[in-house]
């Protein structure tokens, strides 16, 4: 209890002569410095709020406007057209001021109102400019004069030196597509998946919905879009993630990989220390809003930064019907979860036949039963209030040159689920450091999407920041939880309700993870005119078509909607009539020129629907929100019910590389990584394809 003695700031004793007070100057000094640090943080937050609140102007611009207005008064020019005089007549403190003071005070008040009006006007102009997406549909490298003017205007009104959240108030709201457009695009997307009879049936359902129930649901959705910041994001987080009753491991969480060919140090403790230091530096920059806001690569178009808010000190908690994502503003330390308590060993081999789909419910019950008070409660708080979770894993994964595919498969499975009990999947993200110095990351999905974690991963992985160090571990492992080890039944209950179902599901679902090791990894390429050109997911349709015995499947490709405030993702339905024609041509062995022609047409169509999704004209988020409204109203829609129950058998995702230009990947290819991945998305097929490509910008 030495720390208890260290914490005493003063001592006193009562004597007949009075109270003998002995102050500890060192303790008082630390108290003083702690208060200074706290006030510095408060002042920094206030300053950041002011700077962000007046962006794209700056606080110093108020001084310029004020001096200009006051200066014109001495030239007998009234820039306010009589408004300064009106303000002077109604000044509440004019009796306390001289005539000259009243003039200056009135001028300053007018200058402040004028300054705020100019800021509002600049924001509205920038918001209007950012609402234009016609530039997206022009051919790459052939921008029109209108687009050039638009780019120039965006640069002018974007201001200088923006902070992380500077553009938030200037981003437009996500528009609600019309019912007619959504129905038309939906029918086009399912045409290659259905025969004539099935398609005519679905067409009739869509037309009936468009005429009868659709307009009523659309009205409520329009109302929400006018009132809420984003008409999709809160419902998406609630109903897609937090209300999910399946285990989030494999079904929701995703992972990120280490460098393939570089390991800065093979010492586990050194690697963990270096990366923890880098993460905490990143968190400090995030708290100070010093991270540069994301923009489209090579373009001055800002993206929404709201997802950064819950990166650290956040956790997802279970519930009976729904969970929640709790973000704590307190300063937390990283929590290191060491190897499991060996007293659990006798239970790990039991109950492996249990199969539970609704594992969030028993986990919520176990959390309430075992972690509601006492030592377990404080131990749980230590984890949930921590900045992030750190796992020291005893495995030694990595790329093995003699068997790259098998070694990467094993690496991916360790990152996706590990042994289950050595990860905390509810935490916003878990840093996993292996015994050989390799690392990885497992991220919870409800609070943000992969590009946000990708940005953190790249900054943390900056080779200029990575240093070789030596770390040693000392002391014995402390087990933070007391689950009542004297009662063997308590251990069995926890294992049955939480760990065993997760292990069983992992074993049954993750058998399909498979890496294709090519160069560069993770990119599907084709040769054309002696140049390697990446494309995805068109390269996957042919093997998927063969795997499903001559059938096309509903294909999910993620796209971002962060061009809008609080935007997250949209679905690109990549299986189109044009892509199916290309696959059939390849299967029928048509001429190379004919196949290439069909491929170009398929790629052009794919780019078009990707751009529509980014521009807020996607299909699936609109249909999802219409379905939510129908549930609130208690009305049944056969069309929406069928659409929302369609399985996605082929799924691809995009994780952008080099969001921050920290190093040249072309000149230093040894710093390449496989990126990341996620679990199978469908239980209804023997092997669902889940592919991660490397860029989400369809240009």
By CB neighbour count within 10 A (0-12 exposed, 13-18 middle, 19+ buried), where does 17 fall?
exposed
CA 504 to CA 506: how far, in whole Å?
5
CA 469 to CA 456: how far, in whole Å?
22
Q: Alpha-carbon dihedral of residues 360, 363, 364, 368, nearest 10 degrees?
A: 180
Query: What three-state secondary structure class fits 255?
Result: strand
CA 535 to CA 512: how far, in whole Å?
23
Q: What sign for the dihedral angle of Cα 133, 138, 141, 146?
A: negative
CA 448 to CA 513: how far, in whole Å?
23
Instruction: Please list, in sequence order, all residues whose beta carbon lies within 8 angstroms of the beta carbon of residue 450, skipping any fewer than 6 positions away.
Output: 254, 443, 653, 655, 676
Instruction: Please list, in sequence order, all residues whose beta carbon lies within 8 angstroms of the beta carbon of residue 542, skipping any fewer than 6 positions away.
Output: 583, 586, 587
Instruction: Determine which helix (DSSP H) or strand (DSSP E) holds 344, and give its type and residue range.
Output: none
328: left (phi over 0), alpha (psi -120 to 50) or beta: beta
CA 336 to CA 313: how far, in whole Å?
14
Distance of CA 272 to the CA centre of its chain: 23
Task: At 317, list the tokens.
Answer: 């908690």
Strand 254-257 versus strand 18-23 pairing type: unpaired
What is the DSSP code (8-state) at residue 242? I
**Nearest alpha carbon to residue 153 among 121, 120, 119, 130:** 130
CA 427 to CA 506: how far, in whole Å?
19
By CB neighbour count within 10 A (0-12 exposed, 13-18 middle, 19+ buried), where does 258 fall?
buried
Instruction: Please list, in sequence order, all residues whose beta carbon lies within 8 angstroms of the beta carbon of residue 489, skipping any fewer than 6 positions away.
Output: none
CA 694 to CA 351: how far, in whole Å?
40
By CB neighbour count within 10 A (0-12 exposed, 13-18 middle, 19+ buried), where does 374 fall?
exposed
Q: Where are the beta strands (DSSP E) in 438-586?
A: 439-443, 525-528, 531-534, 555-560, 569-573
Please say whether the beta carbons of 84 and 106 come within 8 A: yes
Q: Which residues are catalytic?
A: 445
Instruction: Determine which helix (DSSP H) or strand (DSSP E) holds 45, and give its type and residue range.
Output: helix 25-54
Half-sphere exposure of 633 (CA within 13 A, CB side): 17
What is the DSSP code (8-state) at residue 499? I
Return phi, psi of residue 15, to 5°.
Answer: -125, 170
């Amino acid at each position: 209890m030495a720390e208890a003695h260290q914490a005493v700031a003063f001592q006193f004793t009562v004597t007949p002569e009075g109270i003998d007070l002995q102050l500890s100057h060192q303790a008082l000094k630390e108290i003083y410095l702690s208060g200074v640090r706290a006030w510095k943080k408060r002042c920094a937050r206030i300053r950041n709020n002011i700077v962000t609140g007046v962006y794209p102007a700056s606080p110093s611009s108020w001084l310029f406007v004020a001096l200009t207005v006051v200066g014109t008064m001495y030239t007998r020019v009234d820039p306010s057209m009589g408004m300064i005089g009106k303000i002077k007549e109604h000044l509440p403190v004019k009796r306390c001021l001289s005539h000259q003071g009243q003039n200056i005070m009135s001028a300053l008040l007018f200058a402040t109102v004028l300054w705020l009006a100019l800021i509002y006007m600049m924001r509205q102009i920038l918001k209007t400019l950012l609402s234009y997406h016609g530039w997206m549909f022009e051919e790459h490298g052939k921008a029109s004069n209108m687009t050039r003017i638009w780019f120039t205007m965006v640069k002018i009104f974007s201001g200088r030196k923006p902070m992380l959240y500077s553009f938030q108030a200037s981003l437009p709201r996500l528009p609600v597509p019309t019912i007619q457009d959504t129905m038309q695009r939906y029918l086009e997307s399912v045409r290659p998946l259905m025969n004539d009879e099935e398609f005519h049936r679905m067409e009739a359902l869509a037309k009936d919905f468009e005429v009868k129930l659709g307009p009523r649901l659309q009205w409520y959705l329009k109302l929400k879009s006018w009132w809420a910041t984003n008409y999709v994001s809160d419902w998406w987080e609630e109903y897609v993630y937090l209300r999910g009753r399946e285990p989030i491991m494999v079904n929701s969480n995703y992972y990120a990989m280490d460098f393939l060919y570089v390991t800065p140090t093979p010492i586990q403790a050194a690697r963990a220390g270096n990366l923890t230091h880098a993460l905490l530096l990143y968190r400090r920059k995030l708290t100070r809003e010093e991270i540069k806001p994301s923009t489209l690569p090579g373009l001055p178009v800002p993206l929404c930064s709201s997802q950064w808010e819950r990166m650290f000190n956040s956790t997802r908690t279970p519930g009976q019907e729904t969970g929640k994502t709790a973000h704590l503003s307190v300063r937390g330390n990283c929590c290191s979860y060491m190897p499991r308590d060996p007293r659990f060993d006798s239970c790990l081999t039991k109950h492996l036949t249990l199969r539970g789909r609704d594992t969030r419910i028993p986990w919520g019950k176990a959390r309430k039963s075992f972690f509601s008070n006492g030592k377990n409660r404080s131990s749980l708080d230590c984890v949930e209030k921590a900045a992030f979770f750190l796992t020291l894993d005893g495995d030694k994964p990595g790329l093995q040159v003699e068997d790259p595919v098998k070694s990467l498969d094993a690496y991916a499975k360790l990152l996706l689920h590990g042994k289950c009990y050595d990860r905390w999947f509810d935490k916003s993200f878990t840093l996993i450091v292996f015994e050989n110095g390799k690392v990885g990351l497992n991220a919870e999905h409800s609070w943000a999407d992969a590009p946000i974690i990708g940005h953190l991963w790249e900054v943390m992985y900056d080779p200029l920041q990575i240093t070789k160090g030596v770390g040693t571990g000392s002391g014995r492992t402390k087990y933070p939880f007391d689950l009542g080890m004297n009662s063997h039944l308590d251990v069995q209950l926890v294992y049955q309700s939480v760990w065993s179902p997760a292990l069983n599901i992992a074993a049954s679902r993750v058998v399909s993870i498979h890496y294709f090791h090519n160069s560069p990894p993770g990119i599907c390429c084709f040769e054309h005119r002696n140049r390697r050109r990446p494309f995805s997911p068109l390269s996957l349709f042919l093997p998927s078509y063969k795997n499903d015995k001559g059938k096309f499947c509903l294909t999910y490709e993620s796209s971002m909607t962060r061009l809008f405030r609080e935007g997250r993702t949209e679905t690109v339905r990549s299986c189109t009539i044009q892509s199916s024609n290309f696959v059939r041509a390849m299967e029928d062995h048509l001429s190379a020129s004919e196949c290439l022609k069909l491929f170009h047409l398929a790629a052009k169509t794919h780019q078009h629907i990707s751009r529509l999704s980014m521009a807020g004209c996607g299909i699936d988020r609109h249909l999802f929100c219409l379905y939510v409204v129908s549930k609130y109203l208690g009305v049944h829609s056969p069309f929406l019910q069928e659409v929302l129950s369609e399985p996605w058998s082929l799924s691809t995702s995009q994780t952008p590389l080099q969001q921050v230009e920290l190093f040249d990947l072309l000149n230093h290819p040894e710093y390449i990584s496989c990126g990341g991945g996620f679990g199978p998305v469908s239980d209804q097929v023997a092997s669902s394809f889940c592919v991660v490509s490397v860029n989400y910008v369809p240009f």
